[in-house]
A and B are shown apart, each in its own frame.
Chain A
């Protein structure tokens, strides 16, 4: 295959990647420039105009406290995207390092860390998260800590597996016999070769994290008001389903779905890119 056709094919195959990036960037831009896209304060209440569907003034309507839903969706995106991404970064870094070390050195440290990982995974996830949020109190930092404590395991496992494969490759052996320190080998040679899988996983992990934040809100353990966030919007709206106010739940759910769509496409596209590279 000539280089040209290969690049061409790559482009076609990665339509998804670009589409995903486009969607995600749009969502991020809307969250960042929220104040330019609405004239309403997301926490300003108007109790006498509560629970109104789309009107001229509020085009997506108002919630149970008369707050503008469009504005809450925009500002809510800030909260959730930030938290979900932050809660991916820490476990990503920690998990990757642990995974690389375990895979590279093997031995007792590997056995020990993987047993700890087993405990974390076998522990009912929501029990851990709920207990932690109870102990630490509601709020962004508790959710961040709770998710991080659990999700490093996935990265550690992925990276460890990849490292085991890379370790047996010739260039690593060459480096070892060449007297290069283990630290240098891991950072210079192992990590660059194993990290892509972790990046692919990170995309779906952000989606999963948004799901966790939303579900915590469902149990009343989510982000503390008045900070707007999609999870709280969905779970508070859920209380009004029996009253027929579907839009309170459906609109933020659509926001979550669109975001997850973008992230999934990026994940798919990256995976494809990798496969072509190999």
Chain B
């Protein structure tokens, strides 16, 4: 019973940065050369909503889309740059308005038809519908041209430096022109892409099986014959099945099980770096949370260290700035407010509610982690006279309260979809960034103006200076409290080799193989 809608999902960033020394690096272990063949089963807790590239709002759908489809560009391993994929090269015009992409010759869809610029234009247009889930990501695009079958030009309304990064998002995956003559709905049921795998069977709410695409353009890949994604909501059951050898990969084992799982023979646990930032979110439109002193008082009550100790079992790091440290725009100087009950009391005294108040925390039922966090905050808040009531809601009611602005306090997290910080700066920090400031409804017009200026600048250092300011303003207002930066946890059989999900989460099964 996991919540799909909380995630702001993910397209592509790269694998990066420091891993805690205690975790194994899957590739280090095996010097052996890849073996072809084998069927892999991965267990996941979330239900996929759709396999049409422009549609899924959930990681469970997105990460499968990325195995069936390709984008023009993909992020490099270091998350700092982009690599060619279906486009072999790209360049901007002098005025910064028009981008030209040269397509890889000889690429075929899994039904044997060649991929051309006509398909690319159609795909980008499909995802540009402002009513679609991901239309906002293409909102800067004004025109798409196809001078010849292997060249695509994209023109933007104003100079827009994140454009290449936008071409690497899953939602801009390349589908056949006009969905190969099918309706969008029919295409969604039997998708055709240029990716390493193609869909074999899909029983919604149960399993997705993808098999090797023999026409895949990257020579020798993929190694696996098939990958089966099974829906198993209970984290205990997932852990048990990998231990019992019925599956090879467990997506997101519970934090508490990591220590035990690491001691199980034939199973290893890896914390892959992720762009995920976990927040305590206040409804900035609801009194008394409209008062910055009230929000700050609550922020002083958050003992991040204790939360990491008790909830994530020491995995993850205390958060300061609202941008993830996996992004180059992360402002490392921001540490957030320290845990200090006296200061919280003093802050509350300055507010409209000096003697405390009553509010509720909405928790999505079935989430043990949210539940623990809510109980920790509840007990801290009681110390300064704030009574917090915990509302456990099922995902549907939780979402409804979030969108209707009727909640007081909740938890949420977001991960980035692209390697450029523009998306998350807006999504989590600005009211019109697609996420209504991650549903805190925080509205800072000065920051909004700064963000618009930032994309006009091409120089990264200059852009970072602007993003630093936005993050500082956010820290001063505390519309949400960034709690911790958490890695993506996977436990998997030691037979699985070269398994390396990106910072954004995509699995990259094209590189994975199984030892016998």
A residues bordering B, Cβ < 8 Å? 43-45, 47-48, 50-51, 64-66, 134, 137-138, 219-221, 224-226, 236, 238-245
Q: Which chain B residues lie closer than 8 Å to A220 at the CB level? A: 1, 365-367, 371, 392, 394
| Cross-interface CB contact of A224 among B261, B303, B390, B397, cutoff 8 Å | B390
A-B contact pairs, 16 of them (CB 8 A): A47-B307, A47-B310, A47-B376, A50-B309, A64-B310, A220-B1, A220-B371, A221-B392, A224-B390, A236-B371, A238-B236, A240-B254, A241-B236, A242-B236, A242-B257, A242-B260
Residues of B within 8 A of A (CB): 1, 235-236, 239-240, 253-254, 256-261, 303, 306-307, 309-310, 365-368, 371-372, 374-376, 378-379, 389-392, 394, 397
Residues on A with beta carbons closer than 8 Å to the beta carbon of B368 = 236, 239
B260 touches A226 (CB 8 A): no
Q: With contacts A65-B376, A66-B310 known, is A242 near B365, CB below 8 A? A: no
Q: Which residues of A contact B239 (CB under 8 A)?
A: 242
Query: Chain A's interface: helix, strand, loop or mixed, by majority?
Result: loop
Q: Is the CB of A239 within 8 A of B254?
A: yes
Q: Which of B236, B257, B306 contacts A47 (CB 8 A)?
A: B306
**Bound-state Cα–Cα, A241 to B371, Å:** 17
Q: When the two chains form their complex, are residues B397 and A239 in contact, meaning their CB atoms are under 8 A apart?
A: no
List the B side residues contacting A64 at CB < 8 Å: 256, 310, 372
In the A-B complex, list the 4 residue pairs whose CB atoms are closest, starting with the nearest. Answer: A220-B365, A242-B257, A243-B256, A47-B306
A65 touches which of B240, B254, B259, B375 (Cβ 8 Å)? B375
Report the bound CA distance from A8 to B368 in whole Å: 54
In the bound complex, residues from chain B placing their C-beta under 8 Å from that of A47 are: 303, 306-307, 309-310, 376
Q: Residues of B contacting A219 with CB < 8 Å?
A: 1, 365-366
C-alpha gap A41/B254 in the complex (Å)? 28
CA gap between A239 and B239 in the complex, in Å: 11
Contact of B254 with A243 in the complex, beta carbons under 8 Å:
yes
Chain B residues, CB < 8 A from A243:
254, 256-260
Q: Of the candidates B254, B389, B391, B394, which one forms a contact with A242 in the assembled complex, judged by CB atoms under 8 Å apart?
A: B254
Residues of B within 8 A of A238 (CB): 236
How distant is the Cα of A64 from the Cα of B258 in the complex, in angstroms? 15
Across-interface contacts of A245 in B (CB, < 8 A): 256
Q: A138-B392, A219-B365 are in contact. Are A225 and B259 (CB under 8 A)?
A: no
| Residues of chain B lying within 8 A (CB to CB) of residue A48 | 306, 309
Whether A239 contacts B236 by the Cβ 8 Å rule is: yes
Kindly report which residue of chain B lies nearest to residue A236, judged by CB atoms: B368
